[in-house]
Amino acid sequence: MTSTETTAIVDGTRGGTALLTVDAVSKRYGKTQALSTVSVELGEGEILGLVGHNGAGKSTLVRLLAGREASDTGAIRVAGLPEGAAFTAAAAERAGIRMVYQELALCPDLTVAENAALSDRRPTGALWRRRAERRIQDTLDEVFPGHGISVLDRSGEMPMAQRQMVEIARALCTDRLRLLILDEPTESLGVDAAEALYRYLHRRTADGVSAVLVSHRMHEVVGHSDRILVMKDGSIVGQYPGGTTAESTLLAAMGGEVSTDTGTLERVEAELDDQEQPAAAREGAAVLALTDSRGRELTARPGEIIGLAGLAGQGQEGVLARLWAPGLLSRSVTVPSSRAYVPGDRQVSGIFPLWTVAENLTIAATRALGRFGFVSGARKRELASTWVDMLRVRGGAAAPITSLSGGNQQKVLIARAFAADAELVLLDDPFRGVDVATKNEIYTLMKAEARSGRTIVWYSTDNKEMAHCDRVYVFRAGRIVSEMPGSDATEQRIIADSFDETEGELR
Amino acid sequence: MTTALERPRGASALPGAATRIRTGAVQGSPAVLSIVAMIAIVILAAVIQPGVLSMNGITLMLTAAVPLVLATQAQMIIMAVGDIDLGVGALLGLVTVIAATVLTTSPALGLAMLAGIVVVYALLGFIIQRRGVPSIIITLGMSFVWLGLGLELLPTPGGQTPEWLSAIGQWRPELIPAPLVLIAVATVVAWLIARRSRFGTRLRALGSQPATLEKLGWSLVRTRMAAYAVAAVLLILAGLVMASQTRSGDVNSAGNFALMTIAAVILGGGNFAGGRAFPVGAAFGAITLGLITVLLSLVSLPSSFQSAAQGLIVLAVLAGRVITERFIRS
């Protein structure tokens, strides 16, 4: 599609004035063409949805919009900024453009208020601390009523959902907001918090603030955007009206498979058939047991996929942490001795940023690969290339991990856990920022691995995904409130169970 | 356009004083151990020699701790941005030498040299940030430079500090022991810089997650340079206080300070990873380390054993910190 055609289809700005114009912008990273002559016009008060698979160029485009990077060719013009001036991060900031980052950009050692003060350039004088606390608290109250966050808490010690709320509120702490860029804003949020965010977003757009919404959650993009642009391979391949477009139409435009990815299943199964396959033992004795504070028990047998569901941040991550590291003196937890864990926080505790894909993938398996403490290089390369081929990690085994897109990094982390040959695999929200096709590949992999006798315990913020489990436990305030087979685990049922108990306050 | 400052209806109040104190106590809990250790040492010393609790006793006991506290605050700032300064001891020695020689003979040149140290430190920050050189390497290298300069200026201990500087060392207020006043001032200043100022927030953000600071549009280079410059000023003050106490210069007078200050920061709740700064904890950590020496001389341990004993006590306290931290977290 040529740039003129792209420009021609991109104009629906409610008849108002354009706030921002992207004019035939291209961007290249090394060999990858991340964006090729993309043109977008964004009207005042408009919510623009942006969808596409991992690596389609969405993140690059929003980084350019925020002035974080300069385009190779083309220009970005913002109403009110002088013509021809360089569009830098500082210029974007002056123009009232704020961004909520997908990889949460909070300093873990600073308090909520200090984090907010870092990005809030309004002069505040000697009492800046008190004012920063006031501002972030008011913003949190306005966007997420009943958020339960103390502005004095260190952000690193808060659950993901609360960190995400702070990240959003921090971007809103400004007087001159004109464009809010939201990159996967609801990945870690529970349903009610996500709804609160969208309610707030619509209130602000009514006042003329514009927004760009990037999300893999199609129903949110469809439900809340005025206009949806579909990106593929660095170009805009389609424009659809918000509200009425069917999700399947968008998925088709993105070029993704809507149904289960049978290709991956076949590859994975062919791979597994080569190995000795222990009989599936779903009726065997429980290999895992954990008792919550009121004595309800969570168990799992070999070959089972167990889902931890409920609203975000209700103690599911704590259960994973206890299963991963039960400590020496805990009688309430029984776990197999070999375990693998995929952390939810990819950047902080997931990848080794200086290493290649192969090194990242095989680090947990070195015990199996090694002999007398020495790791055989050939066997390591072989293992890495097997998994890279099986999951189709773009870039190959020798690429530096940081050159991969977020979804492909996540594939490597999941492959690492399964390559470690552990009896129990723990997954903490493995689908943060992962597109539909990758999700299907990972589901398939999980099912195939479970079939070979592994136990998988899995937490997801998206309760719809729980249907893929054998059994689901719903959590509330750190406790198990119900247990159901995966076939019954609809989103409605999980939400109903999460609210079922009336005691205690709900965040 | 609504603004964040407009109070939405039903806005919750900011945390009250009780919550603030509780949060402060929990967040500052790693520093508690240094306070406990200090109290334990004071009690032990008082049991052996009741005289230490007198005005004179406290003054004598704490005099040596004043430069250590100042240098520890400087080390704390460097460690808050995620670095380590191994040149602290040699630099303090050089400052005492400058104070005992050039500062007396030609004060203007002396002050210019001290200002030069600040500039050099800012430059170190620049190089570390820009070129990615580990701070340990660059400060270790600089420690030899400081040592060489000091030996060049004053090959053997001696010299004479200016009158005004000696006067500070002789200052004895009637109601409070002088070292306590100096320690308190140094700690409050460091606390204002590292914990209360916006600059302090950036400082800890740099140590905590530099990518975030950069994303938000702050210059990492300028932040690190400023951190090093502030640390240099504190180190110079530490050196001047040290010279004022001995009234002479000796480039080797603070030989073990690099490791002592690092241990004091860790003892007081800091960490090697950066991002944290506990000025009060660091001060107590430094006092504790200073008092260990006093205690060991009170129990008349042979001086040949003193270093080993000091090291063992530091290890024991640090091990205690690991245990308490685990206890608090669970």
Q: What is the pLDDT of residue A466?
A: 82
Q: Cα-flanking dihedrals φ and ψ of residue A69, to 5°?
A: -140, 155
A-B contacts at Cβ under 8 angstroms: 104
Q: Do B8 and A119 touch (CB under 8 A)?
A: no
Whether B219 has its CB under 8 Å from any CB of chain A: the answer is: no
Whether B207 has its CB under 8 Å from any CB of chain A: the answer is: yes
Task: Find the closest chain B residue to A104 by CA distance.
Answer: B212
Helix (H, G, I), strand (E, B) or coil at A25: strand
Q: Do A209 and B218 touch (CB under 8 A)?
A: no
The terminus-to-terminus CA distance of chain A in angstroms comes to 47
Judged against a pLDDT cut of 60, whether residue A506 lies above it is answered with: no
Instruction: Indicate which of A110, A173, A332 best probes the interface with B, i.e. most B CBs within 10 Å of its own CB.
Output: A110
Q: What is the pLDDT of residue A257?
A: 44
CA dist., res. A229 & res. A243, Å (int): 13
Give residue A209's Cα distance to chain centre.
25
Q: Do B208 and A110 touch (CB under 8 A)?
A: yes
Query: Which residue in A114, A141, A204 is closest to B8 by CB distance?
Result: A141
Q: Cα-flanking dihedrals φ and ψ of residue A275, to 5°?
A: -85, 165
Q: Do A138 and B218 touch (CB under 8 A)?
A: no
Cβ-based contacts of A153 with chain B (< 8 Å): 23
Å between B86 CA and nearest CA of chain A = 24
Q: What is the pLDDT of residue B243?
A: 94
CA dist., res. A269 & res. B124, Å (int): 57
Q: Higher pLDDT residue, A371 or A219?
A: A219
Mean pLDDT throughout B292-318?
Answer: 83
Q: Do B10 and A152 touch (CB under 8 A)?
A: no
Q: Do B2 and A207 touch (CB under 8 A)?
A: yes
Specify which residues A427 forms β-bridges with. Answer: A342, A458
Give residue B21's Cα distance to chain centre.
25
Query: Per CATH, which fold does A3-96+177-254 belong to?
Result: Rossmann fold (3.40.50)
Q: Give, in words, the CATH class of A257-337+423-507.
A: alpha beta
Query: Which residue in A119, A128, A142 is closest to B216 by CB distance?
Result: A119
Q: What is the pLDDT of residue A160?
A: 81
Q: Which ranges in A144-190 belong to alpha helices (H)?
A: 160-172
Supply B280's token pair. Answer: 């009060």
Mean pLDDT throughout A472-477?
Answer: 84
Q: Do B207 and A109 touch (CB under 8 A)?
A: yes
Supply B134's token pair. Answer: 């580990």
Looking at every residue in chain A, the average pLDDT score rounds to 79
Residue found by looking up tokens 């698979």 in the block: A53
CB A24 within 8 Å of CB A74: yes
Cβ-based contacts of A105 with chain B (< 8 Å): 209, 211-212, 215-216
Q: What is the pLDDT of residue B37?
A: 86
Full strand arrangement of the beta sheet holding A210-214: A97-100, A179-183, A210-214, A47-51, A227-232, A235-241
Name the pLDDT band for A433 (thresholds 50, 70, 90): low
Query: Which residue in B19, B202, B216 is closest to A152 by CB distance?
Result: B19
Judged against a pLDDT cut of 70, whether residue A264 lies above it is answered with: no
Q: What is the pLDDT of residue A460?
A: 83
Whether B201 has its CB under 8 Å from any CB of chain A: the answer is: yes
Helix (H, G, I), strand (E, B) or coil at A10: coil
Supply B266's token pair. Answer: 């860790």
Q: What is the pLDDT of residue B141?
A: 96
Listed by start position, the domains of chain A span 3-96+177-254, 106-175, 257-337+423-507, 351-420
Q: Which residues of A touch B (CB under 8 A)?
A: 68, 89-90, 93, 101, 105-110, 114-115, 117-119, 128-130, 133-135, 137-139, 141-142, 145, 150-154, 156, 172-175, 177, 203-204, 207-209
Looking at every residue in chain B, the average pLDDT score rounds to 89
Judged against a pLDDT cut of 70, whether residue B294 lies above it is answered with: yes
Dihedral over alpha carbons A419, A260, A468, A337 (to 10 degrees): -10
Q: Do A107 and B6 touch (CB under 8 A)?
A: no
Instruction: Return the exposure string of A138-152: e unless at least 16 CB atoms fall within 10 Å of the residue's CB, then b.
Output: bbbbbbbbebebbbb
Q: What is the pLDDT of residue A258?
A: 41
What residues contact residue B206 under an 8 Å CB cut-off, 6+ apart?
B81, B82, B213, B220, B223, B224, B227, B274
Whether B158 has its CB under 8 Å from any CB of chain A: the answer is: no
Cβ-based contacts of A109 with chain B (< 8 Å): 204-205, 207-209, 274-276
What is the number of other CB atoms lying within 10 angstroms of the CB of residue A96? 19
User: Is B5 part of any domain?
Assistant: no
Cβ-based contacts of A145 with chain B (< 8 Å): 10
Å between B228 CA and nearest CA of chain A = 20
Supply B161's token pair. Answer: 């500090």
The tally of CA atoms less than 13 A away on the side-chain side of residue A404 is 31
Q: What is the pLDDT of residue A16?
A: 60
Distances in Å between the alpha carbon of A143 and those of A166, A185, A200, B9? 10, 13, 6, 12
Å between A255 CA and nearest CA of chain B = 32
Cβ-based contacts of B212 with chain A (< 8 Å): 105-107, 118
CATH of the domain at B43: 1.10.3470
Q: What is the pLDDT of residue A329?
A: 64
Task: Find the closest chain B residue to A63 by CA distance.
Answer: B215
Judged against a pLDDT cut of 70, whether residue B161 lies above it is answered with: yes
CB B277 within 8 Å of CB B203: yes
Cβ-based contacts of A89 with chain B (< 8 Å): 217
CB A267 within 8 Å of CB A48: no
Task: Find the closest chain A residue to B326 by CA distance.
Answer: A327
Cβ-based contacts of B2 with chain A (< 8 Å): 203-204, 207
Q: Rg for chain A (alpha carbons), in Å? A: 23
Whether B10 has its CB under 8 Å from any CB of chain A: the answer is: yes
Q: Which region among A328-337, B32-41, B252-261, B289-298 has the lowest average model confidence (pLDDT)?
A: A328-337
Task: Find the closest chain A residue to B3 by CA distance.
Answer: A175
Q: What is the pLDDT of residue A503?
A: 38
Given the DSSP bridges, would you call strands A97-100 and A227-232 parallel, antiparallel or unpaired?
A: unpaired
Q: Cα-flanking dihedrals φ and ψ of residue A144, to 5°?
A: -120, 80
Cβ-based contacts of A150 with chain B (< 8 Å): 15, 19, 23
The residue type found at B114 is L
- Complete DSSP assignment for A111-152: BHHHHHHHH--S--GGGHHHHHHHHHHHHHHHHSTT----TT
Q: Do A107 and B8 touch (CB under 8 A)?
A: no
User: Is B4 part of any domain?
Assistant: no
Reported ipTM: the value is 0.85
Q: What is the pLDDT of residue A20?
A: 86
| A3-96+177-254 and A257-337+423-507: identical CATH topology | yes
The tally of CA atoms less than 13 A away on the side-chain side of residue B253 is 31
What residues contact residue A45 under an 8 Å CB cut-off, 6+ apart?
A14, A16, A205, A206, A207, A208, A209, A210
Q: What is the pLDDT of residue A266?
A: 57
CB A400 within 8 Å of CB A318: no
Nearest-CA neighbor of A52 among A485, A443, A464, A438?
A: A438
Q: Do A172 and B4 touch (CB under 8 A)?
A: yes
Q: Higher pLDDT residue, B53 or A286?
A: B53
Specify which residues A256 forms β-bridges with. Answer: none
Task: Find the closest chain B residue to A106 by CA distance.
Answer: B212
Cβ-based contacts of A142 with chain B (< 8 Å): 4, 8, 11
Q: Higher pLDDT residue, B8 or A298?
A: A298
CB A404 within 8 Å of CB A393: yes
User: Is B247 part of any domain?
Assistant: yes
Distances in Å between the alpha carbon of A39 and those of A46, A107, A402, A420, A479? 16, 34, 28, 45, 50
Cβ-based contacts of A108 with chain B (< 8 Å): 208-209, 275
Judged against a pLDDT cut of 60, whether residue B259 lies above it is answered with: yes
Name the pLDDT band for A390 (thresholds 50, 70, 90): confident
User: Is B3 part of any domain?
Assistant: no
What residues contact residue A51 under an 8 Å CB cut-off, 6+ apart?
A58, A214, A215, A216, A218, A221, A228, A229, A230, A231, A250, A254
What residues contact residue B302 under an 8 Å CB cut-off, 6+ apart?
none
Q: Do A151 and B15 touch (CB under 8 A)?
A: yes
Highest mean predicted confidence (pLDDT) among A85-94, A296-305, A320-329, A337-346: A296-305
User: Is B319 part of any domain?
Assistant: yes
Specify which residues A458 forms β-bridges with. Answer: A307, A427
Task: Give the model confidence (pLDDT) of B48-81 as tens digits.
Answer: 988 888 888 889 889 989 999 999 999 999 999 9
Nearest-CA neighbor of A105 among B217, B91, B90?
A: B217
Supply A284's token pair. Answer: 């065997």
Query: Which residue in B4, B27, B217 is closest to A89 by CB distance?
Result: B217
- Structural domain boundaries, residue B49: 32-329
Name the pLDDT band for A495 (thresholds 50, 70, 90): confident
Mean pLDDT throughout A277-301?
Answer: 69
Whether B208 has its CB under 8 Å from any CB of chain A: the answer is: yes
CA dist., res. A402 & res. A355, Å (int): 8
CB B29 within 8 Å of CB B324: yes
From chain B residues 24-63, the ones with a CB under 8 A of any chain A CB are 24, 27
What is the number of other CB atoms lying within 10 angstroms of the CB of residue A79? 13
Task: Give the model confidence (pLDDT) of A215-253 as tens digits.
Answer: 888 888 999 999 999 988 888 988 988 888 888 888 888
CB A174 within 8 Å of CB A134: no
Q: Could you give the number of structural domains in chain B?
A: 1
